[in-house]
Amino acid sequence: AEQTVAEGAFALLLALTRRLPAITKAVQAESWIWPESRWLGRDIADATLGLVGCGRIGRAMARMAQGFRARVLAFDPGANAAELAALGIEVVKDLHALLAASDFVSLHAVLNKETRHLIGAPELAVMKPGAILINTARGALIDEGALVEAVLSGHLGGIGLDVYEREPLSRSGHPLSPLFGRDNVILFPHLTFFTAEAMRRLEEDTLARCFEVLEGRPVTVRSLDPRLRAQKVGVRFI
C-alpha cells in the first residue's frame, strides 16, 4: 500500500499548508474567513520537501511533491544514491543538513535500534522555524516529549501524525495529549493505509502469496530493505 500511505502523508501536508483544520472549524462555527495573517497558507510549489527514508513510500511521496513543483531531498543511508538521483531526488548524506534545508519533512524510515528517536530535540531545533513535520512511518522515530515542546514553543509550524510510540492515543497520560485541539496539529488514528483500493490489493496479494507457498514457488516480497534482500533462498523481490 505504498501509494496509499504516500497519498495519506501528502494529504496531511496539504491540510496543514492550507490550514484546513482551523479554517473548517471556524466556518462550521458560522463564521466567515477574511484574508487575515492567521489564515495565511503556504504553497508547496518551489518549497523543499525533505524525506527521511526513501523506500517505496518515500519515492511515491517524492513523485507527488515533484508534481507540485517542489524540490525533493532525501536522507537514507541504505538507499542507492544513483537510483534516487535518476528519480530527480537530491541525496543528502547528513540528517541535520536535510532538516535545516527543508520547509516540510516527511518520515518514511524503518524503526530499529539505530532509528528510535531519530528525530529528537537536537534534530527539531535545526529545522526551519515554521517547518511542517509529517510522520506516517513509525511513532518511535520521534521523541514525542521533544516534539510537544517544539510545537508549543511555536518553532514548528505544524505536524501531521498517523503513528505514535504508544497507541492508541489518550487524553490522559499520553505524551502528546497537550497537543489535542491545536489548529496546527493533525492526529490521525494509524489509518493512512486504509482505503478500499488498498484493502482489495491486500486481499489479492495475500491470496497470491498463499498460492506461492502451497505450490512450492518462491514467495514474492515487495521491499527495498537491504536486510530483507540479503535473503537469497525461497523469495523473489520486486
Catalytic residues, which ones?
Answer: 138, 167, 190
Distances (CA, A) of 145 to 93, 103, 118, 149: 27, 22, 13, 7
**Residue 175 exposed, middle or buried by CB count within 10 Å (0-12, 13-18, 19+):** middle
Report the alpha-carbon distance of residue 235 to residue 71 in Å, rounded: 36
Which helix (H) or strand (E) covers residue 125, if one does?
helix 121-126
Q: Are 52 and 108 in contact (CB under 8 A)?
A: yes
Q: Are 122 and 146 in contact (CB under 8 A)?
A: no
Q: Which three cell numbers stand for residue 186?
A: 493533525
